[in-house]
Each structure stands twice: as structure tokens, then as C-alpha cells.
Amino acid sequence: MASINTGKPTRFFSPHPHQNTPCTRTHQIASLALVVATFFFTRLFDHSLGPCSSPYRKSFSAEKSQDDVVLWPLRGYGPYLNLKIYVYDEEEIDGLNLLLYGRNGKISSQACVKGQWGTQVKIHRLLLESTFRTRKKEEADLFFVPSYVKCVRMMGGLNDKEINQTYVKVLSQMPYFRLSGGRNHIFVFPSGAGAHLFKSWSTYLNRSIILTPEGDRTDKRDTSAFSTWKDIIIPGNIDDGMTAHKDRLVDPLPLSRRKYLANYLGRAQGKVGRLQLIDLARQYPDKLESPELKFSGPSKLGRTEYFQHLRNAKFCLAPRGESSWTLRFYESFFVECVPVILSDQVELPFQNVVDYTQISIKWPSTRIGTQLLDYLESIPDKIIEEMIANGRKIRCLWVYAPESESCSAFSGILWELQKKVRQFHQSAETFWLHNGSIVNRDLVEFSKWQSPMPLP
């Protein structure tokens, strides 16, 4: 039906079409107030009801607490943490228990939780207790593959060939790994070797999410196993005796009571930078401490003695070793000395939300010498105190604490994982039809795929 043009302006949604009420300034203000109020209450309603829609999804507000300790920054993540992670059980996949306890099953998780590779155990345990864990594969955003393979290898539980064969066997029994080409599967490789512990990582895990403290491993191999696009740098595993809220192994010393300008607590390992620091300590023993660290015997430093040495300087020097990362960087925050990074290729965790220039110094590894000591000596104590205070605020991000803690390494990793979630997954060996069903190359529907499956 055609409209009739009366020559008058059309008035949409008028409740009284036959009245010609003038629009006054009062009406305009009232309308604006109504719009603002509607927006406010809509947001309030969304925030109060939205996060409760699923028992597996927990929301953390991105803000700061009253004492200015970081809960978690909004920038780069969005306002809510919203994940469902499936954790593979050691009994559901043949061979997975070998990657956890070795060929004879005699390696305990408690033995593996200690040392630099303890993150592989801690992250697994935290996910098992997490509110973001789901027991339904079909609703999972991500899949976690538990493995203590670094510990197992170091303790003689599996050799390199057995590790490689076992990983391939395990992956071939995971239909969801095949479905996405591994893109939504998470692996922890907690040492400097990174994913190279699995010799065939570049064939099978080149799309998977790797959690590792190591961002560069090209010194002995042609290819780094770390990708800034898909992988996540995690903090190293600090001794629990130092990260506890109270009754720590040692407490920090006031700057005025510290004997040295700087220290280096580490072994030479034949590395140029470390050898230079040890030689520098011999030249300037009153400024730089570098005690010899022995593996065994009466001169070996115990846990407490190690941190007593570490806390006795204003600056803790952290050169690269076999790889670019070093645990000493993280340890320094708990004795409250300023870490000085002497590793040019190092990658640090949570870089999009932590300003490392406020809490540490990075110095060229090619300039280790008296120039470094002169520079550190020129920094006023007031500046050092400010850097220590800033580090005190964010060091909770290096602690593998339960998600009930507002600030922890685990919470940080969850936020990073959320950025890796994709609504849609594909691989070269998965296909989909007009009705949305997923099939393999033989047009077999996903629900009917049989193990073992050829891997992508």
C-alpha cells in the first residue's frame, strides 16, 4: 500500500499521532537521562547475571586492589576470564602414564615438583582443581596434556627415543588433537630445552600451545621451538620456601646492610658471559660476589645459604646459560634485589601487561666488564628502592598459587590461554559438510573416528 504525501514531516513512533506536542529542552534532557540510565542498568544487569550462566566459567574483574597490588590488568585481555579446559587423565590414553612416571612407574610427582622443571607438575595440579576444568571434551575450549617428561628423562625413566615414540603413540589416540591439528592442545616443557625434549615436536606440535620459560633455543639447534604467535612464556619454578606468604627461608636485607653492589650466583658452564662475570668478581671482590657453586660436598650451598648470598647485594646479575632464560631473574624479586638481565634473546612472561623497565635492568651481554659495575654504582639508592617497590607489587605473578589468589602465575597463564581460544578450528585432515558435520578425508564423521589415527 502506497503512502500518502501530506507535505508534513513524518513522525515515527509517536504515541499520540493526532497531538502536535512541541519538543522542549526539558524533553530533550529527560530523553538523554533515560538513555544514560538504560545503558547503565543494562551493563549492571549483564555483569551481575552473565558470569553465572555456567558452573565452569568464572569471572575475574580486571582491576587493582586497594593496596595497589595487581589483580590483573584489563589491557590486552578483556574484562572476563571465560574458559573450559579438559585435562586428559593418565588412564584414558595408553602410554600417557609413561610420560608422567617413567617406564616402571617409579618416579613420583612429588619428586618432579622440585627444581626448575617443577612447573610441569604445578600447572597440572592447579588445572585438576580449577573451576575452569571441564570433564566434557565436547564443550572444551582447550585440552591439557599432562607430562613430567623433563623430570622423567633426568631421572632415567625414559630415554630420548622412548620419549619420542611415546608422544606419537599418545597423540594418535586423541581424536580432538586430530580434529584441530593440535591447535587447541596445551603442552608444558619447563626447561631450557623446551619442546626439543620431544624430538619430533616440529612435525606434530608445530601448531599446539607450548608453555615454557624458554623463548629462544637456537644456540645448539637450527630451529627454536618457541613461537611468539601461539606459545606462552611462563615464570620459572621458584623454591616454595621463598614464595610463601610467611616463614620464608630468608627475609630481604635493608640496602644499607648489603655488603655487595652486585652478585652472580651460578656456574660457569663454559659460557662467555658467565666466565666474564666470574673473572670480574676476582678483580673487584669488594663490589661483585660470585661464590663457586659446587654440585656436592661440604662446600655445596644449601637452600637457605643460597638465598642468604643472593640477598646480600643491591643487584642480582642474570646472564644466559645453556639457554637464554634464567631462574635467577625470578628469584631476585623475593630477596628484593634488582635483577640485571645479561641475556640478549630472553623472553619474559606477560610482557603486554608488565613494564619490565620499572622493575629490572637489561644490559648488553657484549658489554660485561667494569663499565657495567660503574653504571650500577652510579644508580642512587632512592631509584633502587623504587624499582624494588615496583617489583614487590608484581612478584605475585611468579608464584604458582591456586586461582583463589587474585594474582598468581596460574591466573596469568589462564588469561594468556584465553587469548589462544578460537571459535573455529581446522587442520589439513579435517573437512566439514553443508550440515555442519566434521569428517575426515574418508568422509567418516568425527564421532566415528577410531584410534589410532594418522596424525596431522
Q: What is the pLDDT of residue 426?
A: 74
- The stretch 68-82 carries a mean pLDDT of 60
Residues 86/424, Cβ–Cβ less than 8 Å? no
Q: What is the pLDDT of residue 220?
A: 54
Q: Which residue has the higher pLDDT, 453 or 145?
A: 145
Q: Which residue has the higher pLDDT, 93 or 22?
A: 93
- Note the maximum CA span of the chain: 104
Q: Which residue has the higher pLDDT, 153 or 28?
A: 153
Q: How far is CA 230 from CA 184, 188, 345, in A?
A: 10, 13, 18
- The stretch 423-428 carries a mean pLDDT of 77
Q: Rounded to the nearest 5°, which phi and psi values hold at 318?
A: -130, 85
The span from the CA of 89 to the CA of 68, in Å, is 39
The span from the CA of 311 to the CA of 237, in Å, is 18
* 232: Cβ contacts below 8 Å, ≥ 6 apart: 209, 210, 211, 212, 349, 413, 416, 417, 420
Q: Amino acid letter at 257?
A: R
Question: The C-alpha cell of 77 is what?
Answer: 585481555
Residues 407/397, Cβ–Cβ less than 8 Å? yes
Give ranges for CATH 3.40.50.2000 in the chain.
Answer: 240-399
Q: Rounded to the nearest 5°, which phi and psi values hold at 86?
A: -95, 130
The span from the CA of 348 to the CA of 441, in Å, is 41
Report whether pLDDT(308) > 70.
yes
Interval 364-411: pLDDT, tens: 999 999 999 999 999 999 999 999 999 999 999 999 999 888 889 999
* 206: Cβ contacts below 8 Å, ≥ 6 apart: 182
Report whether pLDDT(60) > 80.
no
Question: The C-alpha cell of 419 is what?
Answer: 587469548
The span from the CA of 60 to the CA of 47, in Å, is 11
Confidence of residue 427 (pLDDT cuts 50, 70, 90): confident
Report whether pLDDT(439) > 50.
yes
Report whether pLDDT(22) > 60.
no
Report whether pLDDT(18) > 60.
no
Residues 162/179, Cβ–Cβ less than 8 Å? no
Report whether pLDDT(321) > 60.
yes
Q: How many CB atoms lie within 10 A of CB 278?
A: 17
Q: Amino acid letter at 399?
A: V
User: Which range is least confidently modeled, 145-154, 216-225, 254-263, 418-427?
Assistant: 216-225
Q: What is the pLDDT of residue 248?
A: 92
Q: What is the pLDDT of residue 14?
A: 32
Interval 25-36: pLDDT, tens: 555 555 555 544
Question: The C-alpha cell of 162 is what?
Answer: 622412548
Confidence of residue 299 (pLDDT cuts 50, 70, 90): low
SS (H, E, C) the chain: CCCCCCCCCCCCCCCCCCCCCCCCHHHHHHHHHHHHHHHHHHHHHHHHHHHHHCCCCCCCCCCECCCCCECCCCCCCCCCCCCCEEECCCCCCCCHHHHHHCCCCCCCHHHHCCCCCCHHHHHHHHHHCCCCECCCHHHCCEEECCCCHHHHHHCCCCCHHHHHHHHHHHHCCCHHHHHHCCCCEEEECCCCCHHHHCCCHHHHCCCCEEEECCCCCCCCCCCCCCCCCCCEECCCCCCHHHHCCCCCCCCCCCHHHCCEEEECCCCCCCCHHHHHHHHHHHHCCCCEECCCCCCCCCCCCCHHHHHHHHCCEEEEEEECCCCCCCHHHHHHHHHCCEEEEECCCCCCCCCCCCCHHHCCEECCHHHCCHHHHHHHHCCCHHHHHHHHHHHHHHHHHHCCCCCCCCCCHHHHHHHHHHHHCCCCCCCCCCEECCCCCEECCCCCEHHHCCCCCCCC
Report whether pLDDT(1) > 90.
no
Confidence of residue 222 (pLDDT cuts 50, 70, 90): low
Residues 216/224, Cβ–Cβ less than 8 Å? yes
The span from the CA of 26 to the CA of 24, in Å, is 5
Q: What is the pLDDT of residue 89?
A: 97
Confidence of residue 149 (pLDDT cuts 50, 70, 90): very high
CATH of 240-399, one of 1.10.645.10, 3.40.50.2000, 3.30.56.10, 3.30.460.80: 3.40.50.2000
The strand pairing partners of 432, in sequence order, are 438
Residues 204/226, Cβ–Cβ less than 8 Å? no
Q: What is the pLDDT of residue 250?
A: 95
Q: What is the pLDDT of residue 453?
A: 84
Confidence of residue 296 (pLDDT cuts 50, 70, 90): low
User: Nearest to residue 394, comparing CAs of 361, 358, 419?
Assistant: 358
